Amino acid sequence: MRPVLSVLWVAVVALALGCSNIPCPELEANKDLVTRFGELLNAADWDGLSEIAAEDFVRHSDATSGPPITSLAAFIELQETYLASMPDQKVTMKQMVAEGDYVALLATYSGTQTGPVGQLPPTGNFTEVQFLALFRIEEGMIAELWVEWDNLAMLDQLGLFPPPEVEVDQGEEI
């Protein structure tokens, strides 16, 4: 009788902690959506992206400067600048966790910098850095993304840290 109680106790604790081997269809669908997002980014398939991300998609990130991304169109423009800098860029997904309307992702970003990054010149160097992302799903579409990575590690791998001297046009002297 004692082994039955032990098994029962483990089952109760697992359920209380949310541990289950039974996949939840909604969570799996959300994870599939994020997987598809990564595939479409890797393929630069902007039409496909518009089928799974909301038109008013919002991207949050302290790792990049510039105006906030508050539409899918602005996100695609940003992705095109990344492609201009690193045409062979690739996102490789490592681990995903889903809960409610959110999917957390650990992944790597890799590519060879053959174009400028802002005012920084192309180096021809390869980089591979880990990043963390959190997606919010709403009505079967990706509505929001938070993404962060170590810019310093990336710039170091590209040979851009410390930054090279960049000539800045100071205008005419008066």
Q: Where are the alpha helices (DSSP H) in 21-141?
A: 25-43, 46-52, 72-85
Q: Where are the alpha helices (DSSP H) in the chain?
A: 2-16, 25-43, 46-52, 72-85, 151-158
**Which pLDDT score, from 0 to 100, does residue 172 have?**
67
**Which pLDDT score, from 0 to 100, does residue 13 have?**
47
- Other beta carbons within 10 Å of 96: 19
Domain ranges of the chain: 23-158
Q: Are 36 and 45 in contact (CB under 8 A)?
A: no
CATH architecture of 23-158: Roll (3.10)
Q: For Cα atoms 130, 71, 50, give the angle at the middle one, nearest 5 degrees.
A: 80
Q: Is the pTM of this model over 0.85?
A: no
**Which pLDDT score, from 0 to 100, does residue 4 have?**
47
pLDDT tens per residue, the chain (174 residues)?
455 445 445 444 444 555 455 679 999 999 999 999 999 999 999 999 999 999 999 999 999 888 889 999 999 999 999 999 999 999 999 999 999 999 999 999 999 999 998 888 999 999 999 999 999 999 999 999 999 999 999 999 999 988 767 666 676 665
Beta-bridge partner residues of 91: 109
**Which pLDDT score, from 0 to 100, does residue 39 have?**
98
